[in-house]
């Protein structure tokens, strides 16, 4: 949970180190000279991560309510915007196109969720494709990336896979996936990225299982 929180927040510009993140969310400490916003983002992501783990056991369908609940926990530093679709137009950093106008967001999200529910492709393909499209809609004023990665992991866990940890060191490659989708209209690059992360996670789990078996 500490590692996931550190990496997801760092991708979005949070300045807490991995150790500092651990001190904030495990010990409740305040890090000198670090912004209050960064502390609140760490605590909010921790709460949202724990929420995702808890609801993954219920196997309920992904819904607008679940997405807004995750976002409400993530956005601890902006209480007035928690769990609410944005009311202002935005442009995603590094993207050529402008995200949908605020008036379009409810219908765009409904369409995306309906498409996701009827998608019969492999779970990794399905959830990776959803993630790319969710981020392009950019339904919230802030916290879209963190919320989107938590949704990604919620759906992977429900499908029987370990959660993946999109690393801060891979931020440029991650952003390139969105540029590729914008240019070509397909999410293959991110699907491959998720699949590679899954193989890495499964390799760690297998190694731990073999180690336990020999002790």
Q: What are the structural domain ranges in the chain?
A: 2-86+93-213
- The pTM (predicted TM-score) of the whole model is 0.94
The lowest-confidence range among 22-26, 42-46, 208-212 is 208-212
Please check whether the domain covering 2-86+93-213 is classified as CATH 1.10.3290.10: yes
- 92, 138 contact by CB (below 8 A): yes
Catalytic residue among 39, 71, 131, 138: 138
71 is catalytic: no
For the chain, the residue count is 215
Structure tokens at 125: 């393909």
Per residue in 149-208, pLDDT (tens digit) is 999 999 999 999 999 999 999 999 999 999 999 999 889 999 999 999 999 999 988 888
């Amino acid at each position: 949970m500490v590692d996931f929180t550190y990496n997801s927040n760092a991708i979005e510009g949070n300045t807490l180190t991995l150790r500092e993140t651990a001190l904030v969310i495990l010990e409740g400490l305040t890090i000198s000279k670090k912004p209050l916003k960064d502390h609140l983002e760490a605590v909010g992501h921790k709460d949202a991560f724990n929420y995702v783990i808890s609801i993954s056991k219920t196997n309920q369908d992904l819904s607008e309510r679940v997405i807004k609940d995750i976002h409400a926990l993530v956005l601890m530093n902006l209480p007035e915007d928690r769990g609410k679709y944005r009311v202002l137009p935005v442009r995603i950093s590094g993207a050529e196109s402008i995200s949908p106008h605020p008036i379009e967001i409810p219908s765009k999200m409904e369409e995306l969720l309906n498409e996701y529910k009827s998608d019969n492709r492999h779970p990794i393909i399905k959830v990776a494709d959803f993630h790319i499209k969710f981020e392009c809609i950019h339904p919230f004023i802030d916290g879209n990336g963190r919320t989107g990665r938590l949704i990604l992991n919620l759906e992977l866990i429900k499908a029987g896979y370990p959660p993946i940890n999109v690393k801060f060191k891979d931020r440029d490659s991650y952003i390139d996936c969105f540029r590729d989708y914008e240019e070509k209209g397909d999410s293959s690059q991110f699907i491959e990225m998720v699949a590679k992360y899954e193989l890495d996670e499964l390799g760690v789990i297998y190694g731990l299982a073999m180690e336990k078996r020999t002790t």
